[in-house]
Each structure stands twice: as C-alpha cells, then as structure tokens.
Amino acid sequence: MALKPEPTAPFHSVQHALRILEVVAKHSGGVDDTVIARETRLPAHQLTDLLRMLRREGYVEQIGDGAYIGGESLTLLGSAAADRVHAVDDKLQQSLAALRDSVGAAVYLSRYVDGEVKITQYADGPRMPRVNEWVDFRSAAHAMAVGKCLLTQLDHDGRRDHLSRHKTVRLTSRTTTNEKVLFRKLDSQPATVPVLDLQEYAVGTVCAAVPITAGQSVGCLALSLPLEHAHRLHQAAYTLNREAAPMLLSLTI
C-alpha cells in the first residue's frame, strides 16, 4: 500500500510542536519562550498557540520563572514500550472525551489496517450517540466520512485494491456508487478540508473526518451528528480539524 505524499495541516503543526519539544528537552533545567522562538524560528503567534496546546495536553509545564520544562504526558509517552502503548491509548481516550464535549458530538479515531477500515477508539454519550453500524464499516468506506478520508490517503492502486474487495453498493439515495465519480471526488478533496458524509452511509446522520497520518500509518479523526444538528456540522468539523494535531502528536512521540 502506498500513500499519497501530500501532507496535512495537522502534520505541519505536529512537526512544529516536535521542534519545540526538542528544544525543551535540550534545556532540561527549563527554557523561556524567547530561546524557544530563536531555536525553532517559529513566528510569535504560532509559537504562542503551540505552547498553549502543549501545556493543555501536558507535554510541557511552566515553572516559577515562566520557563518551560517537559510535562507528565511527555514522560509517559516516552516510557518503555509496553507502558507506552497503554499511555498512548489512555491519552487518546482522554483527548477524545474532551473533544466530544467540546464539539457536542460523538467522535472517533480510525485507522486503515491490513486493507480494512477499523474504528480503534471512540467517545460518545447519551446525547451524543455513536453511529449505528447498520452496515459493516469495513464494507462501507465509499459512503462514510471515515472511509473516504482514509481512501484519500491511499494511492490509486491502494484504492483499486480496496474497492475490488468492497463494492460501492448503494446504502442511501445519496451514496456515490460510480467508482470513477468516487475517485474524482477523492482526488479533488483538499488535504486541509474535512471530508463530509451527508446521509451517504445512513439516513438521518451527517459526519466529518480529517486525516491524521503518522509515518506509514493511515488514520483519521471523525465526528457524527444526527440530521437535526446538521447546521452545526461545519463549525464542528472546523474544531475537529484544529484538534487533530494533539491526537497526531500522541501517535508520533
């Protein structure tokens, strides 16, 4: 399976965040934002936003004189292999729960594993129910925001392989079943714009997804809303895109 080379906005944010963490790690006794700015060469507004995110997510802490040191999350995610797996899962679940509450929607992490769509983690609630899997998600990539977002990250042959095993069957009147049309939509999807599903998988449900690709791992972050809340979809998708960076950072460290 080959990936498309086009990077995403969260990917760039994570690259910058990793540069900041490298500077913090190098100055084990603490480092102020002036030194971080000089060594990372990041613009002031971008550095401020990233430091705020890193503090919120526990990757850095500020000590008495305002200097930055490594935080608890950085320590946990940098631990031994077995502990790191649990630490990453816990961190991602905490982030998903916070994102669920922030956007007021069920949220999902998904990966493309061994040629299949897999929801790896999710956070829902009584007023934010997850999507009813009335058709196996593995067979519905062509109709779901999650599936289409994952397919956009594959090259042409990877998509062909997937659709040779999972046909583009009609699930609702809005489902795209023509492969050429589907490929054209996937090719024209901007990397920094959320992929939408407007009742294509299930009547009464709208969804959005953004890519979070770490190395050769194809993944995405997604949300779903009942149709009566469709007016909130674009704002929720914007928040989803903004919050993808912390998720990707947890997977990258």
Mean pLDDT, contiguous 10-residue spans, the chain (253 residues): 44 80 89 94 91 89 91 73 72 89 94 94 94 96 97 94 96 97 94 91 96 78 96 93 79 70
Given CA atoms 144, 145, 148, 154 in this order, what sign does their dihedral have?
A: negative
> Taking the domain 103-240, which CATH number applies?
3.30.450.40
Find where tokens 């990397």 sit: 191
Indicate the domain borders of the chain. Answer: 103-240
Percent of residues, the chain, with pLDDT higher than 90: 62
Helix (H, G, I), strand (E, B) or coil at 204: coil
Full DSSP string of 25-84: HHSTT-B-HHHHHHHH---HHHHHHHHHHHHHTTSEEE-TTS-EEE-HHHHHHTS-HHHH
> Which tens digits make up the pLDDT trace of 171-187?
999 999 999 999 999 99
